Amino acid sequence: MELTSTQRKALRGQAHHLKPHVFVGQGGLTPNVLASIEQALDAHELIKVRFVAMQAAKGDLVQAISEDRDCACAGTVGHVAIFFRPHPDVDKRRVKVPQ
């Protein structure tokens, strides 16, 4: 999933008030962490993930999450990454993304 710069900017603005839903610690991307990310994306569409440990490998982890969970990274701020995946049902989509 690819986002334009305008879409990424809009999503970052919408995510500004959100608290991180998932925390990645010393264990990295464990199956439990990936399952938590999946559940959060299904429920909220737009989530924040905080990297408590492994900050040096943050770029690789963000790419791995994007590929594994079929979502897009709207940006990173410090040790927090913003991920977006639209709900499969058009009627249940809550996050508005400019076209």
* 3-state SS, one letter per residue, for 18-71: CCCCEEECCCCCCHHHHHHHHHHHHHHCEEEEEECCCHHHHHHHHHHHHHHCCC
Q: What angle do CA 54, 15, 97 make, to 5 degrees?
A: 120
Tokens 């594994």 label which residue? 68
pLDDT of 1 > 80? The answer is: no
Q: Which two tokens stand for residue 14?
A: 């919408």
| Domains, the chain, ordered by start | 5-87 (3.30.110.60)
- In one-letter notation, the amino acid at residue 78 is G
In tens, the pLDDT along 31-79 reads 999 999 999 999 999 999 999 988 788 999 999 999 999 999 999 999 9
pTM value is 0.93
